[in-house]
């Protein structure tokens, strides 16, 4: 199994019931310029798999909040 590190997500698309998520890495940052990014990999999920993944990520975030690793920000008031 291969482990891929990603700095973030660049694009997401839904085509024929498959959600595709492009993972990217930041390769350079220069003052007053957008960071340079490079495609690191792509995830492809069926819709049920995406929902299960969302549930698992939500549980992980909730645990990190409960353990004091993360804090939740209040939503902006407009």
Predicted TM-score of the model (pTM)? 0.78
Paired tokens of 25: 């890495």
47-56: long-range contacts, CB 8 A cutoff, minimum separation 24: 47/17, 47/19, 50/19
26-62: per-residue pLDDT in tens? Answer: 998 888 888 899 999 999 999 999 999 999 999 999 9
Q: Which pLDDT tens digit goes with each residue over 55-75?
A: 999 999 999 999 999 998 877
Phi (first) and psi of residue 52, to 5 degrees? -65, -40
Q: Where does the chain have alpha helices with state H?
A: 47-66
Every domain of the chain and the residues it spans: 8-66
């Amino acid at each position: 199994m291969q482990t891929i590190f990603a700095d973030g997500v660049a694009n997401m698309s839904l085509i024929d019931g498959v959600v595709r998520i492009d993972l990217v890495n930041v390769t350079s940052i220069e003052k007053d310029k957008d960071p340079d990014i490079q495609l690191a990999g792509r995830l492809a999920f069926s819709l049920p798999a995406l929902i299960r993944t969302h549930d698992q990520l939500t549980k992980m975030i909730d645990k990190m909040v409960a353990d004091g690793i993360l804090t939740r920000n209040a939503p902006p008031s407009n």
